[in-house]
A and B are shown apart, each in its own frame.
Chain A
Amino acid sequence: MSNSAAGQSSKSKAGSSQPNETTSFKRKRGVFQKDLQHMMYGFGDDPNPLPETVALVEDIVVEYVTDLAHKAQDIGSKRGKLSVEDFLYLIRKDLPKLNRCKELLSMQEELKQARKAFEVDEEKLASVE
C-alpha cells in the first residue's frame, strides 16, 4: 500500500502542535477513526468525541506504533527477524502493558488449542458417522 511511508514516516513528528495534516504520509486519514471514537468514550471522553481530537489521537497513535516498530526492528535486526519478543522487550518497563500483552498472548494460545481440539473432535464425529 504505502511503501513510501516507511522511509518518510521517520520524519513526521506530532510532538509539536500540528495535526500532521501535511506530513508526507500517504496513508488515508481516519483509518482507526471509528474504533478510536468508541475507545475514547470507553476511556473517559464524551460519547461523541470531537473529530479533531480523534484525528490528533490517531496521529499520535500511529506515530507511537511507528516509533515502537522501528525500535523493535532495531532490536530484532540483531537477532535476525522481527518477533513478538522485541515488542515485549520494549515495553518491559511498563508493567500494565507488559502484563496485558502476556494475557493477550496466552489467551490467543488457548484459543488456538481449543480450536485444534474442536477440529479433532469434529473429525472424530465425522469418522464415526
Chain B
Amino acid sequence: MKQSKDPFEAALEEQEESPPDSPIGPDELDGQTQSAPAPGGLDDDFESLSAPMPVSGGTNINAAVTKNKDDDEEEEEENVDVELAKFPSSADPSKMAKMQAILSQFTEGQMDRYESFRRSALQKANMRRLLVSITGSQKISLPMTIVVCGIAKMFVGELVETARMVMAERKESGPIRPCHIREAYRRLKLEGKVPRRSIQRLFR
C-alpha cells in the first residue's frame, strides 16, 4: 500500500491537469464573499473523482462543499491516500467548466477548507490494522482498505454536517462540541445510516 506519492503518480496527475486550475489563494479572486457559491449549480450525479460527496446540501456550512471536482491543487501532501489522480472527468466539459467557475470565485478561506476537504483522508495503514483486528484475518486487500477509508470519510462528513445543522437549530456557534456530535449521531441512527448490530446489547 502506497501512502506516499510515487513519481509516477505525480506525473500522471500532472498530465491530467490539462485545464489550468483556479489557483489557491487570492490571485484571481475578486474578493467576493458569498458563502456558498451557487448551490443550485451542484449536480447530484457522480462524475469526477477524488471527492467524497457531502450528504446534505451543506445548509449553513460556509465551506463550499461542492462535488465533481476534477482539478486539484498541488499534490505534494502526505494525505494523498484516497486522493488518487484527478480524472479528466470522462464525460463533461460543461461540468468541468461549472467547477472551474465555482472554484474561481472562492474566497481564500473557502479554498483552504475545500483543499482540506479534498486532501484529507484516513491512513490506509491504520485502517488496514483496524480491519485486521476486527476480522481477525490477515487477508485484507488493498481495494477493501480503500473502500472502507472512503466510506469512513463520507461518514465523518455526514456527522459533521449534521452536527452543524444541530448547532444552527440551537443557534450556537463556534467549534463543534461533543454534544452536537452525539445528537448528530443519534439522528443518523434514526435515519438508518449507521449499521445496527443484531447482537443484543444488555445494560445500555
Spell out A's residues near B (CB within 8 Å): 1-3, 5-6, 9-11, 13-17, 19, 27, 31-32, 35-36, 38-46, 48-50, 52-53, 56-57, 60-62, 64-71, 73, 81-84, 87-88, 90-91, 93-94, 96-97, 99-108, 110-111, 114-115, 118
Contact = CB atoms under 8 A, between A and B. Distances in A.
Nearest to A10: B199
B134 interface: yes
Contact of B65 (A31, A44, A71): A44
Contact of A100 (B52, B119, B121): B52
Contact of A44 (B79, B130, B164): B164
Nearest to A56: B178
Nearest to B165: A44
Contacts of B123: 32, 35
B122 A6 contact: no
Nearest to B201: A13
19 contacts: A15-B185, A39-B121, A42-B115, A42-B117, A42-B118, A43-B117, A50-B176, A50-B178, A65-B131, A67-B196, A69-B148, A82-B140, A83-B141, A90-B195, A104-B146, A105-B143, A105-B147, A107-B50, A107-B85
A62 B123 CA distance: 13
- Mostly, the A contact residues are helix
Nearest to A3: B133
Contacts of A60: 159, 181, 185
Given A50-B176, A52-B178, A67-B197, A91 B151 contact: yes
Nearest to B155: A64
B134 A32 contact: no
Interface in B40-76: 46, 49-50, 52-55, 58, 61-63, 65
A125 to B, nearest CB: 14
Contacts of B18: none
A57 to B, nearest CB: 6
Nearest to A71: B195
Interface of B: 8-9, 12, 46, 49-50, 52-55, 58, 61-63, 65, 79, 82, 84-85, 87, 113-123, 126-127, 129-137, 139-144, 146-148, 150-157, 159-161, 163-164, 174-179, 181-182, 185-186, 189, 192-197, 199, 201, 204
Contacts of B54: 43, 96
A103 B49 contact: yes
A96 B151 CA distance: 10
Given A2-B133, A10-B199, A68-B148, A44 B8 contact: no
B175 A53 contact: yes
Contacts of A105: 143, 146-147
A84 B144 contact: yes
